[in-house]
Structure 1
Amino acid sequence: MSATQYTTKHAVDELVDSYQRVPMLVIATHPDRSRIGERAALIDLHNEGNDYLSRVKPEFAKNGNAGRALLDEFISRSPIIFQSEPDGRIKLRAHSTKTTVTVVGRGVQDEYVLHERELDNGVVIGLNHRIVLLLKLLPLHDSAVDDNDVLFGISSDIRAIRQRVEQLASMSLPVMIRGAAGVGKQQAAYAIHQASERRDKPFISVNLAAIHDAVAEAELFGSERDGNRQLGYFEQANGGTIVLEDIEDASVNVHRLLHTVLQSGSVVPVGTEDTQPINCRIMLTSHKDPGDIEENSTLSMLIEKLSAYQLFIPPLTERREDIGLLFDYFVREQWQKLYGNRAYDAKISGELMSQLMTFHWPGNVRQLRNVARQVVIDSRDQEQLHLDPQLLSMLRPTSVNGHWEEETHVQRRPNSVSRNELLETLESCRFELQATGKKLGISRASVYQLIQRFEGVRTAQDLSEEEIKQSYEKNRSDTEKMMWDLQVSQIGLRRRLKSLGYDI
């Protein structure tokens, strides 16, 4: 029986909640690089309290393929034993195996105790300095990987984002894409554009922070002087998509210009009296939490007007299961750029991958790509991928000695919130995201991410116009009743109703 079949059988027969997370092993690096990203669910550990890891067990799989064990000749057939404890901890016992087992940050031991908080974030396990695995609590689903996908990864977050991208591609409404610097907001915008009917039209990305007030109007809306006509960004994007990057970093003057023009739906190039209708899809990106933006400011009004839908991209440290795949992808990408058709056959060392997996990545995916480029440059004519020792020393683990419980200042990890807990908390907080986040011990942005991840959980922005119309008529415009009927925030619902022209 393949790993996929094995997992599905138990998921159907024994796991009541399909969103329930189970201990999962993910291959971060392996001598056979095609194995990177394969997963194996430790179902017996979840259901019976014990499971095993060796050369021949369990079977790892991705893309719906038949499962395979690690099958590395340097890994012992004698198993590493996983045992679950009543308090949610897991014991990793290596007494009876010849394989050198290391939980990164703790050194070589015969037995490790892994706390639930560590498992939420992901525990990095090295085997004989050759294979690196991530042990993490993850939901049961196949790990689909497509090298041609702009949004690359196997995590639940990336899976949910890809589904949202498909939905948004068929619509023309404005989209706000939120996330920290370097997470891939522009890539998400491009993915929406590429999946839409506008894919053959221009895709224009504008760094608003780089626009000076003196030339803002001309750069955004175009200009004409002495018979020379210069197209502005909105005209360049005609028929396609324009992305206004990091909207909060633009000047107040740029905010006012954008707000005025978007109110009218047209632009007037500087030096002319010609009115040009705006004919492009507008997307915004932001690296700020919604609660950090001053209410009733021009920026807040601009965001409200252009945030018909909000998409959140999580930081890389919340989806460590993607790091191995992303790094291998970026190395191959950079190798081809730098060395052309020269064969890429260098190996990823266990030491290098262990440090990549435990680093905190403040620059997120962008920083990982930059490190991959450095590795490729440093590794020419090397048998193993090599990184400059000074840079390697900078990739220090996030936690002290691998013990996440010592970081008392860190809030609860969003991955530890189940779908049922989220639903119950949303209801008790009248579906207000700020209050829900406070009660759960996570940020408001993290609540948005969880809503994206779980099917059947929505915000007012996710509602179709037909749903809103039916509820409005059924409840005779009573937004309190509509809130409970639609199970979304009353404040968000009122904003949505106003934007659709309803009398409230």
Structure 2
Amino acid sequence: MREQSFVDISTVNVREHDGGAQDSQLVPALTIASHPMARRVGERLLLSALAAGREVAVSRNEPVFLRPGNVLGSHLADPFLSRKPVVFSSAAEGRIRLEPGEGSRVAVAGQVLQGPWELSREEMAAGVPVELGGRVVLVLHLADPSASDAVDALGMVGTSVGLQRVRRLIEQVADLNVPVLVRGETGSGKELIARALHQRSPRRSAPFISVNLGAIPRELAAAELFGARKGSFTGAVRDQEGFFQAAHGGTLFLDEVGEAPPEVQVMLLRVLETGEIYRVGERTPVSVDVRLVAATDAHLEQWIQEGRFKAPLLHRLAGFSIRVPPLRERREDVGLLFHHFARGELEALGETKRLEPEDAFAEPWLPASLATRLVGHDWPGNIRQLRNVARQLIIGNRGQPRLQLDAQLEQELASAKAVPTGHPAPERAAPATKVTSRRRPADIQETELLEALRECGWDFQAAADRLGIHRTSIYDLIERSPNIRTAGDLSVEEIVRCHLECGGDLDAMVRRLEVSKRALGRRLKELGLVSTQT
């Protein structure tokens, strides 16, 4: 169990693309998120020609979309799409300009274009749905040209930059005997990463044991993990083997490791340092050979400051760290994931023919407007939530010609979109580098920023629109403003106290704490606190 080496891989926001060097290797791309022929979902078009100053025209008959790793593909080919192409070209400051063809219906993030439109590189990095003719939905994003197949042998679905990075990290560490800490939001697929590490390691033929520490009563956690001697505590009627011994020779996955009680944290630290465990009620150590993979969606560094988690244990667990990107950071994968889950549900119902209609003129089974909403949704529950939405849609529309939202799903998907929408393009005759309605963030003082946030109820998009800046600039301004906090700056005690005093009213809590409503809502969910508004 003893570590062979210590590897510290810092986890960064994948949407920053791990620094300028790697960012420069990414190119704008269009990935099919929805198409009347579902087999086309996941095919993409790299817009590499834009870097050379050339335009790219996209219509029913041109150009060819390819599945990553393949050499053969096809044009969009839907008979309802216009032959008049949508033209993509480069603009100032790394932006991309979209010019809808005459008679072509083009919508960006659900907004129908009346003329040329521009999107910044930051907006492309976030992923923006582009709807063509009410039939096909593409996601404009930044892509790694070297991306391979969209589904690997272990069921990881997607070709986004963030997921490709996760795959690379798995390959780098899988065969090493170092503990791995997988960090990511709830529902983002952390156990899938742990299983991938096990399957690609020399331990693949030995046991893989998965344990959710958050589901074990705190008073039983030590006995469950390390075993117990008969009579060592009330209810111990026989000798008990713990999860560490059950995983001997293999991999032990500890989910929600932040929930480990203090005494268990000490015992985990010992086994990581010595490879030995003590069963509850015994004084003789037992040697175990286990590769430990832990996972958490908690901010353990903050918990260390609050005395809830031991710093040495974090350092040991994080021999190698892998950050799983949330679904909102990989919008180009949403279409693939939705169809992956939908196909499984349709197979159970015997209705897979809906994915490949015989009539090319039939209305799409997945309406483009619904696909746009799926791509643009925040997905606070990530892949788990998307899977549940897919199941609800498929079963709720069983036997129907196309998917429609019921009242429950309508409410679930009704939250404000976080996806950027861009802005009208300036006239080519006046090639200004900035749109006149936009301001320089550096010109905005803290007092003006605070006033806008308060007047907009701490809705960052509304405040950004009021100030005439991009939403992403709001975060930079807040970071430079010493008197404005973020939801991550709030202590657990302050949140719990405010929740109690406000009776769970999220709007009232936002007004009192003066932080982002969306971010505070996420903190409440992490803490298991129910809000009366969302």
User: Above 0.5 in TM-score?
Assistant: yes
Asked if residue 70 in structure 1 is aligned to residue 76 in structure 2, the reply is yes
- Hey, what does 1:357 align to over in structure 2? 375
1:413 and 1:136 map into 2 onto residues whose CA distance is 21
Amino acid in structure 2 at the alignment position of 1:374: Q
Count of aligned residue pairs for this structure pair? 402
Q: Which of 121, 140, 144 does residue 135 from structure 1 map onto? A: 140
Residues 292 and 148 of structure 1: CA distance in aligned 2, closer, same or farther (over 3 Å): same
Asked if residue 276 in structure 1 is aligned to residue 278 in structure 2, the reply is no
TM-score, length-scaled by structure 1 = 0.72
- Hey, what does 1:111 align to over in structure 2? 116
By how many angstroms is 1:190 displaced?
0.6
Amino acid in structure 1 at the alignment position of 2:354: D
Unmatched segments (≥5 aa) in structure 2: 1-20, 232-236, 356-364, 424-437, 439-459, 465-469, 480-487, 489-534
Q: Which of 98, 103, 122 does residue 92 from structure 1 map onto? A: 98
Residues 22 and 271 of structure 1: CA distance in aligned 2, closer, same or farther (over 3 Å): closer
1:81 and 1:392 map into 2 onto residues whose CA distance is 33
* 8 Å CA contact 1:221, 1:235 repeated in 2: yes
* 8 Å CA contact 1:150, 1:188 repeated in 2: no
- Hey, what does 2:31 align to over in structure 1? 26
Cα RMSD between the aligned structures? Answer: 3.2
Asked if residue 234 in structure 1 is aligned to residue 244 in structure 2, the reply is yes
Q: Provide, for residues 284-335 of structure 1, a one-character-per-residue CA deviation record: whole Å limited to 9, x for no partner.
A: 1122346434269752111112221111111111111111111111112233
Asked if residue 79 in structure 1 is aligned to residue 85 in structure 2, the reply is yes
Asked if residue 320 in structure 1 is aligned to residue 334 in structure 2, the reply is no
By how many angstroms is 1:403 displaced?
4.9
- Hey, what does 1:247 align to over in structure 2? 257
- Hey, what does 1:380 align to over in structure 2? 398
By how many angstroms is 1:52 displaced?
0.9
Residues 232 and 365 of structure 1: CA distance in aligned 2, closer, same or farther (over 3 Å): same
* 8 Å CA contact 1:64, 1:142 repeated in 2: no
SS at match of 2:310: helix
TM-score, length-scaled by structure 2 = 0.68
- Hey, what does 1:452 align to over in structure 2? none
Residues 124 and 413 of structure 1: CA distance in aligned 2, closer, same or farther (over 3 Å): farther
Residues 345 and 85 of structure 1: CA distance in aligned 2, closer, same or farther (over 3 Å): same
Residues 389 and 399 of structure 1: CA distance in aligned 2, closer, same or farther (over 3 Å): same
1:401 and 1:193 map into 2 onto residues whose CA distance is 38
By how many angstroms is 1:281 displaced?
0.7
1:125 and 1:390 map into 2 onto residues whose CA distance is 26
2:249 and 2:150 map into 1 onto residues whose CA distance is 31
Q: Provide, for residues 43-78 of structure 1, a one-character-per-residue CA deviation record: whole Å limited to 9, x for no partner.
A: 333321522110122211013231311111111222
Amino acid in structure 2 at the alignment position of 1:361: W
Q: Which of 195, 198, 202 does residue 197 from structure 1 map onto? A: 202
SS at match of 1:283: strand
* 8 Å CA contact 1:174, 1:308 repeated in 2: yes
- Hey, what does 2:352 align to over in structure 1? 343
Percentage of identical aligned residues: 35
Amino acid in structure 2 at the alignment position of 1:402: T
Amino acid in structure 2 at the alignment position of 1:275: P
* 8 Å CA contact 1:323, 1:357 repeated in 2: yes
2:309 and 2:184 map into 1 onto residues whose CA distance is 21
* 8 Å CA contact 1:247, 1:284 repeated in 2: yes
SS at match of 1:133: strand
Residues 223 and 335 of structure 1: CA distance in aligned 2, closer, same or farther (over 3 Å): farther
- Hey, what does 2:59 align to over in structure 1? 54
Amino acid in structure 1 at the alignment position of 2:41: I
2:244 and 2:373 map into 1 onto residues whose CA distance is 44
2:366 and 2:331 map into 1 onto residues whose CA distance is 17
By how many angstroms is 1:99 displaced?
3.1
1:323 and 1:412 map into 2 onto residues whose CA distance is 26
Q: Provide, for residues 242-276 of structure 1, a one-character-per-residue CA deviation record: whole Å limited to 9, x for no partner.
A: 11112222222322232244444222323445532
